[in-house]
Structure 1
Amino acid sequence: MRLPFLPPSTRRVALLIDGENCAATCALATLKVAEQQGRLVVKRVYANWSRPGTQAWIEPVARYQLQPVHHERVSAAKNATDILLVVDAMDMLYNQFIDTFCLITGDSDYTPLVKRLRKAGKEVIVIGDERTAESLKAVSSRFVSLKGEGVVGKTNNASIPPAIPTDQGELTTQTTPEPATADGYLPPTALQPAAHNSNSQHTRTPMVTSPPVQAPTRPLREAVVLLSKAILQATKRDAEGWVSVAVIGHELRKIDPTFRPNWFGHASLSKLVAHCSQKVSLFEIRTQHNNQLEVRLRRTQG
């Protein structure tokens, strides 16, 4: 089908990344390619986030505000991540709100998907490297090679390139100090009761107190990485993957004994977790009947 001409400013673009087939170091380069095609309205990374090999994606997910899509492996013989990406792409096709699909993978299993999208008149740009399947290159509208990026076939913990500018800017934390609360990190400051002096005037004698919550000294993405690692290594998770904030605090102290929520401008771990869940779609939180805050890695609906 002949593609209708649409100026780049009106083209709606979806960036779909197979996070189990691509290295996290490709995040910045693929974003740049996708943004050159038009208005980037979807940017998703698909992976089983409980696998150690996908943890390198946690930082670029936070830094570039990608949407992580999680799916558990249901069978050793089946790749649920591939299937989920295909299902989402077909939903977008039938909803008719995407003009250009940018697919980041090297897997030939996506060849039928690319052919179907192009048959429906969509532009499909495959982004990969020299290891990308020839069948996938052949059926795409255009193949973009990211030479030297190590895009396909591995995940690693190499450092992530500097952040790109976005409308929302890089993730930041709040700068307004909060009253100290629980979680065992910053106990509330307190004053001694008023005392009478010789002139019967009231005076206040301050006790030795904890330092006030400082303005953030570290970027929020570092908190996202630490929280994600703590959740993944926590053994006290329920069947649905929920972990209490108390358990997360214990795991964080094992990762870094010096960890403090006020590094990120929050008086308590609970407030930091809640703030991260608002800024990054990687986490889900809930409050149990005993007011115990719990968190887990976000899962797909249904």
Structure 2
Amino acid sequence: MDKDLNLAVLIDGDNIPSKYVKEMLEEIAKYGNPSVKRIYGDWTKPSLAKWKDVLLKYAITPVQQYGYTTGKNATDSAMIIDAMDILYSGKVDGFSLVSSDSDFTRLAIRLREAGMTVFGIGERKTPNPFIVACDKFIYLEILQKTDAGASASSSKETKTKIDRVTPKVINLILATIADVEDEDGWAFLGEVGALLQKKQPNFDARNYGFRKLMPLVKSIDKIEIGQRNNPKGNGNLVYVRALS
């Protein structure tokens, strides 16, 4: 990913808990510069009180949106209108849509049609249509860090959020290796990771308890790992192939 991308970070305050804000912004910074940071909601509601406490600290601009009509989500409408205004301003290269709401599916599709890179961030409850409409989708739960001195109960809670590496996951990785392998069956791990992301935007080694793709692949006994010299001189390149 190009870390020089200027990103517009738009947060749906109605369904994203404020407890994730620090890790969320650190994650977004891996993919680009969050040049626009806005959060949408009805700030007269007590439910957004915790967000008020962190807005100034993280330089996030609150956008007030009253719920004029019962049953209609005015926050979604305001966020979508703002996104299109920002798109036409030509000042950003991509968007980070922070929501667990499938109502933003069409917005993600439209932004990608316009050549924008779209990062989705939301909780695991996020409906699949919104996930697959993004270039990459990150679950908020995997961003929460546990300190070395964390309590046993909080550590246990984190473990319950980890997905199991099922045969379906292994087959997805093996099929992806086959898609980019050379004549000897070797595939550059970087290409494998990029293609996995295109096939499944929410694919992330952290979902399975691994910090990166390399340790995840290493845990699968059906895959062989090798290294080659990097022609640019920056260490070795990791290659993988399926064991027969």
**TM value normalised by structure 2:** 0.56
SS at match of 1:29: helix
Matching residue within 19, 28, 34 for 1:40: 34
Correspondence 1:1-302 to 2 at 5 A = 8-147=2-141
Residues 131-179 of structure 1 show CA distances to partners (whole Å, capped at 9, x for unaligned) of 01111001110011122669xxxxxxxxxxxxxxxxxxxxxxxxxxxxx
Q: Distance in 2 between matches of 1:31 and 1:80?
A: 25
Mark the structure with the bigger radius of gyration: 1
* Root mean square deviation of aligned Cα: 1.8
For residue 9 of structure 1, report the CA deviation from its aligned partner: 4.8
SS at match of 2:15: coil
Residues 43-80 of structure 1 show CA distances to partners (whole Å, capped at 9, x for unaligned) of 11111000111111011102212111111111112111
SS at match of 2:56: helix
Q: Distance in 1 between matches of 2:4 and 2:39?
A: 24
Unaligned runs of 5+ in 2: 145-244
Q: Distance in 2 between matches of 1:26 and 1:9?
A: 22
SS at match of 1:8: coil
Q: Distance in 2 between matches of 1:82 and 1:124?
A: 17
Q: Distance in 2 between matches of 1:139 and 1:93?
A: 17
- Would you identify which runs of 4 or more consecutive aligned residues in structure 1 move more than 3 Å? 7-10
SS at match of 2:85: helix
SS at match of 1:63: coil
Kept in 2, the 8 Å contact 1:8–1:39? The answer is no
Q: Distance in 2 between matches of 1:133 and 1:89?
A: 21
Q: Distance in 1 between matches of 2:91 and 2:73?
A: 27
- Tell me which amino acid in the other structure corresponds to 2:64: H
- Tell me which amino acid in the other structure corresponds to 2:34: L
Q: Distance in 1 between matches of 2:126 and 2:44?
A: 26
- Tell me which amino acid in the other structure corresponds to 1:26: Y
More helix by share: 2
- Tell me which amino acid in the other structure corresponds to 2:87: L
Percent identity, please. 33
SS at match of 1:21: coil
Q: Distance in 1 between matches of 2:28 and 2:60?
A: 13
More strand by share: 2
Kept in 2, the 8 Å contact 1:25–1:149? The answer is no
Q: Distance in 1 between matches of 2:6 and 2:129?
A: 26
Q: Distance in 1 between matches of 2:33 and 2:98?
A: 17
- Tell me which amino acid in the other structure corresponds to 2:75: T
SS at match of 1:26: helix
Residues 207-231 of structure 1 show CA distances to partners (whole Å, capped at 9, x for unaligned) of xxxxxxxxxxxxxxxxxxxxxxxxx
Kept in 1, the 8 Å contact 2:95–2:117? The answer is yes
For residue 40 of structure 1, report the CA deviation from its aligned partner: 1.6
For residue 87 of structure 1, report the CA deviation from its aligned partner: 0.3
Q: Distance in 1 between matches of 2:65 and 2:36?
A: 18
**Bigger mean CA offset, 140-149 vs 103-112:** 140-149
- Tell me which amino acid in the other structure corresponds to 2:88: Y
Q: Distance in 2 between matches of 1:104 and 1:30?
A: 9
Unaligned runs of 5+ in 1: 1-6, 151-302
**TM value normalised by structure 1:** 0.46
Cα distance change of structure 1 residues 34 and 50 upon mapping to structure 2, 3 Å threshold:
same
